[in-house]
Amino acid sequence: MKYVTVTLNPAIDQTYRLDSPFKEGGLNRAAEMSELSFSGKGINVSKALMKFGIDSKVVCLIGQKDGDEMYSHLRDSNLNLFALRTKGRVRRNVSVVSPFSENVEINEPGEEIGFDEIVKFFALYDRMIKDREKHTVVISGSAPPGFRKDVYKRLTLEAKGAGNAVVLDADGDLLKYGLEGRPDLIKPNGEELAVITGYRIDSGSDEKIRISALAASTIIFEKTGTEVLCTLGEAGSVFAGRDGKFECPAVKTEIKRFKGAGDYYLARFLYERCERGASVPEAMRIATEKVSAYLKN
């Protein structure tokens, strides 16, 4: 299998859809409630890759409390699941979607992981990245309390030391320190990009946002050699890397869901570029079109 995805902090997701603007401090009545979704950023990438006919190893932590249903769901989804069961419970995330106001997300941090569980996880990870086949290791999302801030740097260095490519999709200190491990590609959004570069991403027109994001992405690539694929929501996306610098406008669409859109975009980009041999601009264009359809469903 060519891909390994790593999800340290999976979640049970619930989405509520409103037919009116979200009221801060007031009562909000849901017009529609989604079924529970068992996911996490790396898991989402693996699910998308599977739809494209690409198998991957899904390496994750799943808590004992509330985790049995999640574990069964992921196994029943035909994912190649390598899960370490931990003592805590699976965190829950809530999303509120309204066509009349900004979307709202409430994400739990996850329960603290013990030292013995961390040791077991690294042993599992080591086995996954050191078999005969070389992989693209996709490390995504947050980390629960108990892990060091530089955990993604360590995971990146270990994977690259074993001859694998690494894609990192994280934020805050996890991204900052992870970048020190020199992953092959990072996929920040505009806010995350601004934090790690100190470079202000312009507001205003979509074009201005893309131009400033591309400048910040170029700084990272020229300084570290790590390619940058930055998603900017309704402003589109930009790329800076060995193949050049590119912008891609978004496809305007009605948004019915947004959870996991960035993961779907990343999976499609990797599929088009790495599996089908598409150029970076073509991979960005196709990923943008496909994620637009994803957002409408």
Q: What angle do CA 218, 283, 103 make, to 5 degrees?
A: 80
What is the tens place of the pLDDT at every residue in 34-56? 777 888 999 999 999 999 999 99
* CATH 3.30.70.20 is right for the domain spanning 3-296: no
Radius of gyration of the chain (CA): 19
Compute the distance between CA of residue 147 and CA of residue 157 in angstroms, rounded to an integer: 16
Please report, for the chain, the start and end positions of each structural domain, with discontinuous segments joined by +: 3-296
Q: What is the mean pLDDT of residues 262-269?
A: 95
What is the tens place of the pLDDT at every residue in 103-152? 888 888 999 999 999 999 999 999 999 988 899 999 999 999 999 999 99
Q: How confident is the model at residue 175 (pLDDT cuts 50, 70, 90)?
A: very high
What is the tens place of the pLDDT at every residue in 162-171? 999 999 999 9
Helix, strand, or coil here: 89?
strand
> What own/partner pairs with CB < 8 Å and gap ≥ 24 does 112-115 have?
112/88, 112/144, 112/145, 112/146, 113/61, 113/86, 113/88, 113/144, 113/145, 113/146, 113/147, 114/86, 114/87, 114/146, 115/146
Q: What is the mean pLDDT of residues 12-37?
A: 85
- Upper half-sphere CA count for residue 59 (Cβ side, 13 Å): 19
What is the tens place of the pLDDT at every residue in 53-104? 999 999 999 999 889 999 999 999 999 999 999 999 999 999 888 877 778 8
Res 255: pLDDT: 61
Helix, strand, or coil here: 19?
coil
What is the tens place of the pLDDT at every residue in 199-250? 888 788 999 999 999 999 999 999 999 999 999 988 999 999 999 999 999 9
Chain-wide mean pLDDT for the chain? 92
Q: Which amino acid is at 239?
A: F
